[in-house]
A and B are shown apart, each in its own frame.
Chain A
């Protein structure tokens, strides 16, 4: 009994903590993840406060500025210079952050939600349903993601909404596969058997026992997919099948495309939106890597 009492007091000394809180503490102690969080934070701030931070109008053209050739570089008036139509590049980058974040979040949300449902059903129901769903996913995976997105945009027509749907759908098989794998691993776990043996219903076992324990690789993949979604949309924009009206919409990918004929005379026109893409993608990737470590139960307690 004395051993049990000693154990009891020992337990009482430790602060109570949840797994998610533990994970959060580990995440903010990871230098890489902090850098990632800062990068993303910069873009979130830029996106939210774009109208306040902007020095000019994002679509207003000022052709007088480029009367003497393209294009004036950074100056006190125009921090990042002006583009080939005389628009302020700094302002356009700020507004572009809105589109990039929106694209990243919405397309990942589309891919994640469909992928989660399909993966959970395939993994938990198993059998024929599993085979049917996963063979469709295999077919989708056999086509390169960007090519698949191009095909979907071609079918749906261009436009921001359709681009996000296309990139999201191209992500579905990745999420479905990932979740199916971890659901399969958890389905036979002892605590799932225990839940069955006390009489908990099957849907509740899936939602409160299996999915919460299978979701962490999917969350990690989600942050990484946000990075690739931004690149994919930029790529679609570069290929000219992205947004309906790239002139009116300051989106980083199309900002890159517009200037490909001016690379030699004004390289900053490509470098600046390119750097914005790199930094935001790097930010999401660093957060994803940090989350992967923070959510790994084997590293708990370090």
Chain B
């Protein structure tokens, strides 16, 4: 395996768009609009690294993860896995590839079939791909249970007999069953108690070393992401606003949204905490059915400038230090020439329809 950041990416996402149609009508469905859950997202994930994907609820980060695994169909754009374009593959053509890419789900209570025993849940992927005969199967299941730190006799039990942390270990064992190269971890610890979160994070890190895994780690908890990620991508309203190495992002955030996000993380030192400046964002997340034009963040941005912000879409561009950011004024912010200011929320334009709930994710 090549080292971080070098060599060809294992997964490339190019100009990915995932729109969910809004339909209305009783007899004939009319297509009245789209929820732009993911709008023009591009990034690479390199072999052996962990790419953190952060953003607030509803920004489309889970949709990106699910689209990469082709659980949702991309509306536009390309997904390349290990040199192969998988965007247009049929379900049957995807099946062999599913051995190499897996997913860990957020909710350990919803992601395990309550009517199947743990052994069956973990063994199902092996059976689906014809990888193990009966005797081997139970041996392999016991192995996997051991790898994720569960007792070997757990296989005969049912999910409801386990706690949240243990269930997440079961989900982990299931995704490891096929020996994948790439795992999308969709907020794998956000449903767990803090004490259990650390266990699962450490387990994920141990497994990454043991099995040469590449992670796309989706989360909204910045402390967790900082701990586990090599690089971090920040999403806002369906688009990526900043990508940078993890430490660099935390030391030197450049996009106003990232700055605001990081300023909301409490610092466990009362003196520093009292002095530091927090930026409160005004207003709510705009509706992804009708996102603001130009820079999507301009309705809430504390650094908004009279020119460009409301007229020109900022491209995701690479600054001299390797930091990738989508803001017209990144250089000025970096140099400290711009200061955040208090502002009222500005409605982009009256919403034509009440904000639609995005489809169940």
**Bound complex: CA A209 to CA B114 (Å):** 9
C-alpha spacing A189/B174, complex, angstroms: 17
Q: Is the CB of A19 within 8 A of B114?
A: yes
Quick check: A190 and B199 within 8 Å, CB to CB?
no
For A19, what are the chain B residues with a Cβ–Cβ distance below 8 Å? 114-115, 158, 160
Q: Name the CB-closest residue of A to B109.
A: A190
A-chain residues with CB within 8 Å of residue B177 when the two chains form the complex: 198
Quote the shortest CB–CB distance from B199 to chain A (angstroms). Answer: 7
Contact of A189 among B103, B110, B156 (CB under 8 A): B110
B106: chain A residues at CB < 8 Å are 190
Query: Do A16 and B156 form a contact, CB below 8 Å, given A4-B149, A193-B71, A197-B98?
Result: yes
List A contacts of B105 (CB < 8 A). 190, 193-194
| Minimum Cβ distance to chain A for residue B18 (Å) | 15
Q: Tell whether A14 pairs with B161 under 8 Å between CB atoms, given A194-B174, A198-B178, A199-B128.
A: yes
Check B112 for interface membership: any CB of A closer than 8 A: yes
Q: Chain B residues with Cβ under 8 A from A190's Cβ?
A: 105-107, 110-111
> With contacts A12-B151, A189-B110, A199-B99 known, is A18 near B158, CB below 8 A?
yes
Number of chain B residues whose Cβ lies closer than 8 Å to a Cβ of chain A: 49
What mask results when residues 110 to 154 of chain B are scored 1 for a CB within 8 Å of chain A, else 0?
111111110000001100110000000000000000000111011
Question: Looking at chain A, what size class is its interface with the partner chain?
Answer: 20 to 34
A300 touches B102 (CB 8 A): no
B343 interface hit (Cβ, 8 Å): no
Q: Provide the residues of chain B in CB contact with A14, threshold 8 Å.
A: 161
Question: Which chain A residues border B149 with CB–CB below 8 Å?
Answer: 1, 4
C-alpha gap A189/B69 in the complex (Å): 16
A-contact bits for B146-175, CB 8 A (1 contact / 0 none) = 000111011011101111011000010011
A139 interface contact, C-beta 8 A: no
Q: How far is the CA of A4 from the CA of B125 in the complex (A)?
A: 25
Nearest-Cβ distance from residue B206 to partner chain A, whole angstroms: 12
- Report yes or no: A11 in contact with B128, Cβ–Cβ below 8 A: no
Q: How far is the CA of A48 from the CA of B81 in the complex (A)?
A: 64
**A111 vs B125: C-alpha distance when bound (angstroms):** 35
A188 to B71, CA, bound (A): 11
In whole Å, how far is B106's beta carbon from the nearest beta carbon of chain A?
Answer: 8
Say whether B307 faces chain A, with CB atoms less than 8 Å apart.
no
- B115 to A212, Cβ gap below 8 A? yes
Chain B residue nearest to A186 (CB atoms) is B113
Is A7 part of the contact surface with B, judged by Cβ < 8 Å? yes
User: Nearest Cβ distance between residue B92 and chain A, in whole angstroms?
Assistant: 8
Q: Is the CB of A12 within 8 A of B153?
A: yes
In the complex, whether A302 has a CB less than 8 A from a CB of chain B is no
Complex CA–CA separation, A19 to B360 (angstroms): 27
Residue in contact with A191 in the complex, picked from B71, B95, B113, B157, CB distance below 8 Å: B113
The interface residues of chain B lying within 8 Å CB-to-CB of A201 are 95, 128
Interface centre among B114, B117, B150, B165 (most CB of A within 10 A): B114
CB distance from B221 to the nearest CB of A (A): 20
In-complex Cβ contact of B103 among A8, A16, A194, A202 (8 A): A194
Whether, in the assembled complex, B308 has its beta carbon less than 8 Å from a beta carbon of chain A, the answer is no
Chain B residue contacts of A16, Cβ below 8 A: 156-158, 161
A191 contact set on B, CB distance < 8 A: 110-114
The verdict on B66 contacting chain A, using a C-beta distance below 8 Å, is: yes
Q: CA separation between A1 and B195, bound complex, in Å?
A: 11
CB-CB nearest in chain A for B107: A190
Question: Are B151 and A194 interface neighbours, CB within 8 A?
Answer: no
Identify which of A4, A17, A18, A198 contacts B124 (C-beta below 8 A). A198
The complex places the Cα of A297 from the Cα of B158 at a distance, in Å, of 13
Q: How far is the CA of A221 from the CA of B315 in the complex (A)?
A: 57
Most chain A CB within 10 A, of B125, B177, B195, is at B125
Q: Is the CB of A196 within 8 A of B71?
A: yes
Contact with A along B76-117 (1 / 0, CB 8 A): 000000000000000100111011001101110011111111
Bound state CA distance, A17 and B159, in angstroms? 10
**Assembled-state Cα–Cα distance A209/B129 (Å):** 17
Verify B124–A11 contact, CB threshold 8 A: no
- Is the pair A3, B195 in contact by a Cβ cutoff of 8 Å? yes
Please give, as numbers and ranges, the residues of chain A lying within 8 Å of B151 by CB-CB distance: 8, 11-12
A11 and B114 in contact (CB under 8 A), knowing A197-B102, A198-B128? no
Q: Please, which residue of chain B has its CB at the minimum distance from the CB of A191?
A: B113
In the complex, whether A213 has a CB less than 8 A from a CB of chain B is yes
Chain A nearest Cβ from B165, distance in angstroms = 7
Question: Which residue of chain A lies nearest to B166 when distances are taken between CB atoms in the complex?
Answer: A7
Q: Does A195 contact B (CB under 8 A)?
A: yes
Contact of A11 among B125, B161, B360 (CB under 8 A): B161
Cβ of A301: which chain B residues have Cβ within 8 Å of it? 160
Which residues of A (55-78) have their CB < 8 Å from a CB of B?
Answer: none
> What residues of A have a CB within 8 angstroms of the CB of B91 in the complex?
202
Chain B residues with CB under 8 A of A199: 94-96, 98-99, 125, 128-129, 178
CA distance A197 to B94 in the complex (A): 10
Q: Please, which residues of chain A bring their CB within 8 A of the CB of B165? A: 4, 7
Q: How far is the CB of A19 from chain B (nearest CB, A)?
A: 6
Can you identify 17 A-B contacts, CB atoms within 8 angstroms? Answer: A7-B166, A11-B157, A19-B160, A188-B360, A190-B107, A193-B105, A194-B112, A194-B171, A194-B174, A198-B125, A199-B95, A199-B129, A200-B124, A200-B128, A209-B113, A300-B160, A301-B160
In addition to A7-B166, A194-B112, A199-B98, 11 A-B residue pairs with Cβ atoms within 8 Å of each other are A3-B195, A7-B163, A11-B161, A193-B71, A195-B124, A198-B98, A198-B102, A198-B124, A198-B174, A199-B125, A213-B114
